[in-house]
Chains A and B, each alone.
Chain A
Amino acid sequence: MSKVEKSKVKSKKSKGKSMEDILTRKGRNSRQAFLIFAFCLLPFAFLSAACRQDMHDNPRYEANEDGANRQLPEGTVARGSLDLNPSAPKVTAQAAPVSAATPGVTAGATAPAAITGEDGFPFKVSKEILDRGESRYNISCLPCHGKLGDGNGMIVQRGFRRPPSYHDPRLKAAPSSYFYDVMTNGFGAMSSYTDQLTPEDRWKVAAYIRVLQLSQRANVAELGEDDKKKITEAAAPKTETKGGNNAPGGH
């Protein structure tokens, strides 16, 4: 069949139908075509969904959107940062102001006098409080003061000025409020830790410093049976790992 004949047949056929018929069929075809076309486009719709949309970034101000935490503006008091025990007896040895103190001058040299005062704990010390103090000590103090409180932490080994050991007779005799005072106001090279430790936690850390001091001069005879047993069990390997105890950041 030639092309001409074909077209003739087609035109004849179309003539036999009403105009409406043609239109609806055509309409159905194009609708189907459109649906298939839309279906093929679906993947691209998902592609565009991968981009960040308005809802991802609401017009609101978020924490740290402008950078790091800010310093407390002068003359303001952060919520929860007030001293728990303002009536706590002040320690007599005045803490040296935080400044670029001349290197080589140790804390012992700036405050040679005995530190006197009362402990002044605002709460009764319990096991929970000591546990909390230990965890806060290990976070905020351990880098310099070391796990044992001997002032040989990792940051000191990196070159920071060595803090006095808690096992110095002077610090053993000091009241707990002295440690609270140093944490609050800083001392020598150590800056204030009010940003990192709440007043409550500072007292708890002070309590834990007492634990550390006791740990290095405890009388075995005064220990409970459980602890005595632990010591005898650990006695043999303890001599080997003693150096390891001093190891930096040991946790």
Chain B
Amino acid sequence: MPQLFHRGMNTLARLSIVIGLLVAGGGLMFVIEFNRTPYVTQAFQPREQPVQFSHKHHVGDDGIDCRYCHTTVETAATAGLPATKTCMNCHSQLFANSPYLEIVRESWRTGQPIKWTRVHDLPDFAYFNHSIHVNKGVGCSTCHGRVDMMPLVWNEASLHMEWCLQCHRNPNAVLREQKDITNMEWVAPKDHAEKGGAELAKKYNIQPKNVLTSCSTCHR
């Protein structure tokens, strides 16, 4: 019986398998990496807010502590969005006639809270609690970045699970003293994970890695 295909077709057939695998694998890689890009995670994208509130001005220029407004960050799961009264503590006198603050004054008159746009939105199946992080030495800027340099706030992190695990696998590298918790300029000193961080982990009684990375720590 004569050959249907030329002998060279064998190579081509084998090659097509390899190329097919490469294309499929490359496609997979592309999708995975694509999901990590800010295009998907929306990291570094400033969100429009109903009021042109600038963290850069209030934190960076005025030096107001994060906890002046986010009062519950040390005691509750959420850091808390300040009630309009907190704005009016100062803005009853400062920029009291500014049209930019009309939404704040309207909220003050009517008692309806301002509807801010959420920037950091974790999926609901991930349990997160601000207070445990803040009380155990994870500072604001570790996750939120230099908020004192953000006119409109964006998220610095992908909020992907791999991002959470970075720290949960090696918490020592980011731990700081309580006095530095809201310090925006804090950076870990050299060899922090081995020296100062390790000491702080002991002081804060940080759980071992297998507990920190256990599924039910975050998915409960």
* Residues of A that sit less than 8 Å from B by CB: 1, 9, 13, 36, 39-40, 42-43, 46-47, 50, 55-58, 60, 62-64, 66-71, 100, 138-140, 142-143, 154-155, 158-161, 189-191, 195-196, 248-251
Contacts and interface: CB of A to CB of B under 8 A. Distances in A.
Nearest to A189: B93
A43 B80 contact: no
B170 interface: no
Is the contact region of chain A dominated by helix, strand, or loop, or is it mixed?
loop
A67 B89 contact: no
Contacts of A100: 92
Interface in B7-54: 20, 23-24, 27-28, 30-32, 34-35, 40
Contacts of B1: 9, 13
Nearest to A54: B124
A158 B62 contact: yes
A33 to B, nearest CB: 12
Interface stretch (B64-72, B192-200, B201-209): B64-72
B63 A248 contact: yes
B85 A68 contact: no
A153 to B, nearest CB: 9
B127 interface: no
A96 B40 CA distance: 54
A195 B86 contact: yes
Interface string B78-95: 101111111011101110
Contacts of B2: 1, 9
Nearest to B50: A67
Nearest to A72: B83
A158 B94 contact: yes
Contacts, number: 123
A144 to B, nearest CB: 8
Contacts of B68: 139-140, 143, 196
A89 B38 CA distance: 59
The 9 closest A-B pairs by CB, nearest first: A249-B63, A43-B27, A67-B115, A67-B113, A68-B81, A58-B124, A56-B123, A69-B83, A46-B31
B5 interface: no
A13 B2 CA distance: 13
A195 B71 contact: yes
B124 A249 contact: no
Nearest to A64: B81
Nearest to A12: B1
A191 B85 contact: yes
Contacts of B124: 55-58, 60, 62
14 contacts: A9-B2, A13-B1, A39-B24, A50-B40, A55-B123, A56-B123, A56-B125, A64-B118, A66-B115, A67-B114, A69-B81, A100-B92, A143-B63, A195-B86
